[in-house]
Structure 1
Amino acid sequence: MNHKVIWITGASSGIGQALAKAYDNLGFRIIISARNQEALEQIKNQSKHPTNIYVLPLDLSDPDSFPSKTKEAIKAFGKLDVLINNGGISQRSLAAETSIEVDRKIMEVNFFGTVCLTKELLPHFINNKGGHFVAISSLVGKFGTPFRSTYAASKHALHGFFDTLRAEHYRDNINVTIVCPGFIRTNVSVNALTGDGSPLNEMDEAQEKGMSPEQCAKQIIMAIEQQKEEVLVGGKEKYAVYLKRFFPSIFSKIIRKAKVR
């Protein structure tokens, strides 16, 4: 598969950075995007195959830049085969204490930013008679938990959009994989927004004890290669999805008592 070109958003840290390094080790040509250009350049400079990496700064809250950014991404290696929509922001605040501005910001980045970029690339995949969209969702894209109301909403919305996109473009040979990570050892909680929009600046205990981003990236790459429609990634927290599905009342009682922030 390593003749394919992969575009990764949110590639400056966490799961995105781990994916970039893993694909680099496999010899893929990759385009790495995030707001932090310095971090992206460092990833490229430390890579095994720097000529196979193209740095493309991107702000998911700036959709007006997407047409030019997408053209630049396609031009970098002449084509694109896979877009991994990994960029996003999390939340750690009660719904009643979260300003509507923060709600809108989370939706703008996690949902609208991802959807706008996907739609910008869609014609390229249609013309090429193939492509693969990957949406990095979350386990809270399958159920809601305290302190993550709008984050959960943004991830739920991604499932609706990408499930529909998969059905609509099946005959165009376009695949869609939705990835639902659980607790992964990244700075997602550190950078999460609180009710007034300021970052939490703390690592969640569950996050700190979670799966390594490298192991997460390995499972994501395997799911992409196998063209899975949806995959759950993480530890025992994955089973909450099945508890919610088959025993919703029990799940509700447990989640009310969960020690999460």
Structure 2
Amino acid sequence: MESIENKVVWVTGASSGLGKALAAEFALQGAEVILSARRFDELENVRVGLLNADRHISIAMDITDESQVMHAYEQVLAKKGRIDLLINNAGLSQRALISETTMLTERTIMEVDYFSQVFLTKTVLPTFLKQKSGRIVFVSSVAGLLGTQYRASYSAAKAAIHMWANSLRAEVADQGVNVSVIFPGFVKTNVSINALNGEGKAQGYDNDATANGLKAGEFAQQAIKALANGEEFIVIGGKKEKLGVLVSRFSPSTLYKMIRKMKVK
């Protein structure tokens, strides 16, 4: 089992939700956490609440702005000198039918959930290769394994980053760099409230599935335990989500029938 203590962990989307919970759990386990998101003040509010707050740093960046990403990366190396885990967590969800979703919204979701994570990973990859160590982590989604109504663009982006991660894992396997993908199911965060509707605006309200999902802290504990165990394919969620993933592997046609009957928006 790999120790988290004293590891330098860079978490994107760390100002709220899954990222905030992951940052807190990494700090509890003795890691040095780099928190990134767009708003510095919100990152600082999270950082000062972490265990041993002075060990951690906040670096604001818009993950879709390549110049900001490059500058943030330079700051990380200047302040910490290395990166042991990169947690590609920043993301954006969707709640709209395909027929109602504009192409601008389609591209926005793909930019945040796929291209920005690819760019950040390609930016930091030389450091991992030079170190001949480290783990690159992508937070995908169970939706990226199943594909459901109201989430077509989101499901596609999350599936794309999963496949990209698989290729990356194969390419760096003999160079000491590990790659893991986490697939959360329903977790109690603001993901549904912030999800884009067809016009690209925040939905603005929650749904029952998310409101009754796994607590973010429980998600973080399970995720970090799995990472410490070296797991590469990590599904975290309730019984229904795990059943869906299992059915998708053994009987896709059965899965398609199940999804048709789903009423969750």
Give the TM-score band, short-chain normalised.
Answer: over 0.9
Q: Distance in 2 between matches of 1:53 and 1:135?
A: 21
Q: 2:16 aligns with which of 5, 13, 16?
A: 13
Match for 1:204: what amino acid?
A: N
Q: Distance in 2 between matches of 1:245 and 1:125?
A: 32
| Partner residue in 2 for 1:40 | 43
3-state SS of 2:191 partner? coil
Stretch of structure 1 that moved more, 37-46 or 227-236: 37-46
Tell whether 2:55 aligns with 1:52: yes
| Partner residue in 2 for 1:136 | 139
State the shift of 1:250 in Å: 2.0
Identity %: 39
Q: Deviations over 1:70-112 (max 9, x none)?
A: 1111222121110000001000000111000000000001100
The answer to whether the Cα contact below 8 Å between 1:27 and 1:52 also exists between their aligned partners in 2 is no
State the shift of 1:210 in Å: 0.4
Q: 1:188 aligns with which of 187, 191, 203?
A: 191
Stretch of structure 1 that moved more, 54-63 or 160-169: 54-63
| Partner residue in 1 for 2:248 | 244
Match for 2:230: what amino acid?
A: Q
Match for 1:148: what amino acid?
A: R
Tell whether 2:57 aligns with 1:88: no
The answer to whether the Cα contact below 8 Å between 1:132 and 1:174 also exists between their aligned partners in 2 is yes
3-state SS of 2:183 partner? strand
State the shift of 1:8 in Å: 0.1
Where do residues 201-212 of structure 1 align in structure 2 (5 Å cutoff)?
A: 201-212=204-215
Tell whether 2:262 aligns with 1:258: yes
3-state SS of 1:106 partner? helix
Structure 1 segments unaligned to the other structure (5+ residues): none
Tell whether 2:61 aligns with 1:61: no
State the shift of 1:233 in Å: 0.1
Q: Distance in 1 between matches of 2:162 and 2:136?
A: 12
Q: How many residues align?
A: 261
Match for 2:115: what amino acid?
A: F
3-state SS of 1:189 partner? helix
TM-score (norm 2): 0.96
Tell whether 2:226 aligns with 1:223: yes
Q: Deviations over 1:4-59 (max 9, x none)?
A: 10000000111110011111122210100011222111111222211111001121
Tell whether 2:128 aligns with 1:125: yes
| Partner residue in 2 for 1:171 | 174
Q: Distance in 2 between matches of 1:242 and 1:13?
A: 30
3-state SS of 1:190 partner? helix
3-state SS of 1:142 partner? helix
Q: Distance in 1 between matches of 2:257 and 2:178?
A: 37
The answer to whether the Cα contact below 8 Å between 1:102 and 1:196 also exists between their aligned partners in 2 is yes
Match for 1:99: what amino acid?
A: T
Q: Distance in 2 between matches of 1:64 and 1:48?
A: 31
